Amino acid sequence: MTPSDRRRTITGLLFVAPWLLGFLIFTVYPILASFYFSLCDYRVLSPPRFIGLGNYTAMLRDTDYFWRSVLNTAFMFIELPLALALSLGIAMLLNQRLKGIAFFRAIYYLPAVIPTVASAVLWRWLLNPEYGLINDFLTKLHLPRLGWLTDPVWSKPSFILMDLWTVGGGIVIYLAGLQGVPQHLYEAAQMDGANVWQQFRHVTLPMLSPVIFFNLIMGVIGTFQYFTQTFVMTNGGPDNSTLFYALYLFQNAFQFFRMGEACAMAWILFALTMGATWLVFKSSARWVYYEGGLK
């Protein structure tokens, strides 16, 4: 290596050093430390004590809280196909060339830009079993009033209902995908005698499959990390019916100060998220279409 090459190498390393240092300190070290702490009995105020896989085995035997949080989180996956279908349907309506369509696009997207905490406070008021507007509306329709967030049966469906209100982000992505579908494909399908449903099935869905794939991946990851809404609205109640995995992890770490168990839960969450994402990627070869063919 010549002196000039050495100087260029040193100069390049100096330029990337701030990022590299930050990556090692704020990303790599916390990851490695969390894995070590997951193998320890660590209560923050006392030094960590190595116990091996004790945290993992204790959680797997915990049917009252750990497995309850897993099942509660799994229930929320019911929302995923509903959100995908609803956002796609609304996007197709908003893709029409009508006068004033930009106004309706803005209206449907508006809930997605509302901060999650503000949205949670709003829906906590709407779903109040005593004076909430939704129960008042049910009363006017001569339907029974529901307990919503105070009823273990309706608490999780309440969150699903609230989340479906904020599908504007998915709508925008679908709308962009719809406007990228070549018009000549629809014209060719019409010339072959395809009806509206056949055009949707054989033209729209294949061309939108990469967009659906992206929204599905983001939905899977987001569902595993479901936290803010339940933290603001119910904090796990009633009767632990909304004790989702991320909330229980937070409680272990910052309320009960069981950092070892919280780190173990974080690694289990990482494994679950990676496993579910891998399954979606594995299945994508059969249904995700790109211009060169299936993925």
- Indicate the pTM of the whole model: 0.91
* DSSP classification of residue 53: T
For the record, the structure tokens of 293 come out as: 């063919």
Residue 51 amino acid letter = I
Question: Which helix (H) or strand (E) element contains residue 40?
Answer: strand 40-41
Please give the Cα distance from 72 to 240 (Å, whole number).
9
pLDDT digits (tens, 9 = 90+) for 108-122: 999 999 999 999 999
Whether residue 238 has a cis bond before it, omega within 30° of 0: yes
Greater model confidence, 289 or 29 = 29
Please give the Cα distance from 166 to 151 (Å, whole number).
23
pLDDT bin (cut points 50, 70, 90) of residue 3 is confident
- C-alpha to C-alpha distances, 124 to 25, 43, 102, 148, nearest whole angstrom: 40, 34, 30, 9
Q: Are 191 and 199 in contact (CB under 8 A)?
A: no
pLDDT at 291 over 80: no
For the record, the structure tokens of 141 come out as: 């329709």
Quick check: helix, strand or coil at residue 41? strand
Domains recognised in the chain with CATH numbers: 3-59 (no CATH), 61-294 (1.10.3720.10)
pLDDT at 294 over 90: no
Segment 240-261 mean pLDDT:
96
pLDDT at 200 over 60: yes
> What integer best gives the mean pLDDT of the chain?
94
The alpha helices in the chain, defined as continuous H runs, are 3-23, 29-37, 54-60, 66-75, 79-94, 101-113, 116-126, 133-140, 155-164, 168-179, 183-191, 196-199, 205-224, 228-233, 245-254, 259-287
pLDDT digits (tens, 9 = 90+) for 44-96: 889 999 999 999 999 999 999 999 999 999 999 999 999 999 999 999 999 98
**Cα angle 125-130-135, degrees, rounded to a multiple of 5:** 75
pLDDT bin (cut points 50, 70, 90) of residue 97 is confident
Segment 129-152 mean pLDDT:
94
